[in-house]
Every structure is written in structure tokens, then in C-alpha cells.
Copies of this chain bind each other. A is one copy, B any other.
Amino acid sequence: MPEKSKTKRRSGCPVSSSLEQFGDRWSLLIIRDMMVRGYRTFKEFQESGEGISSNILADRLKTLEAAGILMTEPAETDGRRMNYRLTEKGMDLAPVMLELLIWGAKHETSGPQCVLIAQMENCRQEILLETRRRWLMRDSTPLIPKFDDTLNLQAARGKARRKQ
């Protein structure tokens, strides 16, 4: 099992300490799954299409929990199931995630979604508000589904407006 050695690298810079908490190849993908796809269980993360192995997934979930970015709660409907949920601190990563999404969509032409996502640049606030609303209400409808599916931003906007 990978220990939490991590070869201390505290430079004191906020960017550096941010990256110490989620700056590996998997953490941000897990956070994306929770934030924009509404995933909550181990199995969903495993099947998210990125191909993370179960030992690494388990380790990252533990690390992110220790960092206070997510928390666990056993599902009341099913005793085996654990629900993972972002904390406030984790949700504060929404702007980072959105900018990553926008950058990726702008510089990769990997699919029709990218055009749509690029348009997100013009409604950042709206999207962030909607993301937060879903988190608060434990609404796990994906904002952006797995892939190739359609964005449901139209629905999102409707809901957000109604809420305000």
C-alpha cells in the first residue's frame, strides 16, 4: 500500500500547497466526477471511463478525505455502499474545475461538446451558482454527463433562475 510519505515539498506557495493536496493524475478527475457528473460511489468512480485502478482510487479517496476536500457517509439505503460527498473546501474548487474545463475545451477539439463548453466562458457565474445549488440540495443530476451525451445547461439555467 502506498504510504503517505509524499517527500515533503512545502515551499509555502499557495499554488504549491494546493497541488500537494490534489495535484496528481487522479484526484481532480475524482473531484470532477463528484462535482459535474454527480458521482457518489466507489463503483461509479471506477467506471468513469478513465481506468483508475481500485487501489489507487481507494488511496486517493482516503487522501482527499484527510485533506478535508471530501467526506464519507454510509448510504442509509444500502449498508455496503459509501457515499462520498465534497465538503465546502472541495466545492471551492469549482472555479478551478471550470477554468480547466474551459481551457481543455478551447485547446482540444476532441468532440462536439467542446464547442458548447467553450461557450461556458460567457456564463461562468451562472454555472458556478448552479453547481453549488446542486451540491447544497444533494441533487446528483450530472451537469455534464459522462461524454457524448448532451449538456443540460438549458435545464440548469431554468432551475437556477427559478431558485433565485
- Chain A contacts to B: CB under 8 angstroms: 9-19, 23-25, 28-29, 32, 48-51, 89, 92-93, 95-97, 99-108, 110-111, 113-114, 117, 147-148
Contacts and interface: CB of A to CB of B under 8 A. Distances in A.
A101 B99 CA distance: 13
Copies assembled:
2
Contact of A13 (B18, B32, B107): B32
A97 B92 CA distance: 14
Contact of A110 (B17, B29, B97, B108): B17
Contacts of A14: 100-105, 108, 110, 113-114, 117
A105 B17 CA distance: 9
- Shortest 8 CB-CB distances between A and B: which pairs? A14-B104, A18-B104, A96-B99, A14-B105, A95-B99, A11-B49, A17-B108, A12-B147
Contacts of A100: 14-15, 18-19, 96
